[in-house]
Amino acid sequence: MVQPILQFGTSRFLQAHVDLFIAEALAQAPGAGDALGGITVVQTTDRADGAARIAALAQGKGYPVRIRGLAGGQRVDRLQHCLAVREAWHTSTHWPALRQAVAQGEVKVIVSNTGDQGYVLDERDGPELLVSGSVAPHSFPAKLLVLLHGRWQEAPNKSLTLLPCELVERNGEVLRDQVCQLARQWGLPEGLQNWLRQKPIWANSLVDRIVSEAIEPVGAVAEPYAVWVIERQAGLLLPCRHPAIVLTDDLAVHERLKLFLLNAGHTFLAERWLVDQRPAAETVRQAMADAALRSELEALWADEILPVFRALGEGPQAEAYLRDVRERFENPFLEHRIADIAQNHMAKKQRRLAPIVALASQRTPDLVQARLQAALTRTA
């Protein structure tokens, strides 16, 4: 029996984030967490590690999540057991059953985390897949289109919320547009295309938690900090209520906090690591323990970034978020190598630092951002 929450992806991130939130809500007294129910996890690739996770999840015994780090100045090291996943399927063997479950309205929420290429279309997918009931499409948008086509035919008025967790700006809208584009390419009825835009709820969301390592065959190690920010809209159905799930009318505020403080802080450390030719194996925690480098990072936040938030009227939120960032950077259990952060560094600088400078030029044109400007100027 399929569960009310359908999840595409078996990543350790989802195991220690969405799935753990739902497990914690399910464990509360009835009504306290308002959880819809359990999760059916769907693996869409043929990777061996994914197959091992699906096999372990299918046993229904749950899996461990170890939370390690700092929270409120205190060291945290605890082990939890996640029991939210009740079914574990694979598209190659369960596709007909999956189509039926979505079409008949058993599924109320669809969660996804399909990686960097998750929304990319595949030219091998075509409208014939609507007829061939046993063969799953290759791309995630095509899988969704086939599933939603069945819902439109059999239970068009039953509510359905899609909660993508991919790190894509306005991810719900982007995914919706991909699915609608594909429906047009396949020449599907205009009624379906209108329904796709108007009836399912495509939620924009932002996820944030460092999940540092896997526990084999299934399970994960994660930091204490966790948030799932979801943009509020009419008809939105959440999988549960949880302190880490935040509903907002302005997702951009939360996106700025993560990009300008956490991501920009990481990229600044990577810039100093490259320019100063610092130790090859240096970690974020070690960099934070270097007094001179820590001073430079604190000056970046205080003098070049926080004034931008204050100009936007978001100063208190930014300062509170920054307190959490410091603890995350100082996590005594996490070996976060700066060499890993420095991969694709030039592109990351443009994505993470340039928007701060651009926004400052609009809101605080007299603000001096020497460190940011120097980092953006260096091209080698």
The pLDDT of residue 102? 97
Indicate the pairing of strand 5-8 with strand 109-112.
parallel
Domains and CATH numbers, the chain: 5-249 (3.40.50.720), 252-377 (1.10.1040.10)
Looking only at Cα atoms, what is the longest distance across the chain?
A: 64
The pLDDT of residue 132? 80
The pLDDT of residue 33? 67
Cβ atoms 25, 241 nearer than 8 A: yes
Q: Which residue, chain included where needed, has tokens 């061939």? A: 132
Residue 250 region by backbone torsions, left for phi larger than 0, else alpha for psi between -120 and 50, else beta: beta
Instruction: Look up the pTM and report it.
Output: 0.94
The 3-state DSSP class for residue 43 equals: strand
- Average pLDDT across each block of 10 residues of the chain; the chain has 380 residues. List them in order: 93 97 91 86 84 92 98 97 96 94 97 89 95 91 98 97 96 97 98 98 98 95 98 97 97 97 98 98 98 98 98 98 98 96 96 98 98 94
Considering just the CA atoms, what is the radius of gyration of the chain in Å?
22
